[in-house]
């Protein structure tokens, strides 16, 4: 892991959404975690990167197709689909195109399908619903605006850290401060876990990691 607080996406994934959430709470941002109803299609999926935001009319996949061509490699698609459960906004073909373009993953407050195909692709997708019903090609949607995903406002360029524990949204202006704080929390908790595994209680473990080496 880097020592200069400029964490790579892999570093952010290692730190994890829980530590990132704690870091933001320590910095005064208490409501930056996407609602728990949006979950990964496979338990080992994780992703971190800047948000490319999409707002779709439920089932209208046109905006998603536009986003697939406009997003930059490393971006995470963050999609406000109105939490609609009955029509999809993403499936196996879109995921194939997204991965080919280097898009890091997708977080959808909406439904997806072709779960087995997406999992086989190893393309990280987090969604609120799964259903087989196809969408439409109605040209309704917006790109790169502030969206609401799981009750949390997400702006273009905000940093997404998503894994099995949940999804944290780091405001772009706080990225460096959150990286420093989250990394410190990660290092401390890793040290605590090692002491607890040796049989120490929390008080003993805290004393142990405070002692100079």
Q: Which helix (H) or strand (E) holds 184?
A: helix 175-197
Residue 22, beta-bridge partner list: none
CA pair distance 183, 14, nearest whole angstrom: 9
| Two structure tokens written together for 170 | 């780091």
β strands within the chain, DSSP E: 39-40, 47-56, 76-80, 88-90, 105-112, 125-130, 141-143, 147-149, 152-154, 159-163, 166-170
DSSP of 104-116: -EEEEEEEE--HH
Query: What is the pLDDT at residue 3?
Result: 47
Length of the chain: 213
What are the chain's domains?
9-172 (3.50.30.40)
CA pair distance 120, 92, nearest whole angstrom: 10
CA-nearest of 42, 31, 72, 45 to 168 is 31
pLDDT tens figures, 107-124: 999 999 999 999 999 999
DSSP of 3-24: SSS---HHHHHHH-HHHHHHHH
Query: What is the pLDDT at residue 5?
Result: 52
pLDDT tens figures, 4-26: 457 999 999 999 999 999 999 99
Q: What is the pLDDT along the chain (213 residues), one digit of tens a residue?
A: 554 457 999 999 999 999 999 999 999 999 999 999 999 999 999 999 999 999 999 999 999 999 999 999 999 999 999 999 999 999 999 999 999 999 999 999 999 999 999 999 999 999 999 999 998 889 999 999 999 999 999 999 999 999 999 999 999 999 999 999 999 999 999 999 999 999 999 999 888 888 655
């Amino acid at each position: 892991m880097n020592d200069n607080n400029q964490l790579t996406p892999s570093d952010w994934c290692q730190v994890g959404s829980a530590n990132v959430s704690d870091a933001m709470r320590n910095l005064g941002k208490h409501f930056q975690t996407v609602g728990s109803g949006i979950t990964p299609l496979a338990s080992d999926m994780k992703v971190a990167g800047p948000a490319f935001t999409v707002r779709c009319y439920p089932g209208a996949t046109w905006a998603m197709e536009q986003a697939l061509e406009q997003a930059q490699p490393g971006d995470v698609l963050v999609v406000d689909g109105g939490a609609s459960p009955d029509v999809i906004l993403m499936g196996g073909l879109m995921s194939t195109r997204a991965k080919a373009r280097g898009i890091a993953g997708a977080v959808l407050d909406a439904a997806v399908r072709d779960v087995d195909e997406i999992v086989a692709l190893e393309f990280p997708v987090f969604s609120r619903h799964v259903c087989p019903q196809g969408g439409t090609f109605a040209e309704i949607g917006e790109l790169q605006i502030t969206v609401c995903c799981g009750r949390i406002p997400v702006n273009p360029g905000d940093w997404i850290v998503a894994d099995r524990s949940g999804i944290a949204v780091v405001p772009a202006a706080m990225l460096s401060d959150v990286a420093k704080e989250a990394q410190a929390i990660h290092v401390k908790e890793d040290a605590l876990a090692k002491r607890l595994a040796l049989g120490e209680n929390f008080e003993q473990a805290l004393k142990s990691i405070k002692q100079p080496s």
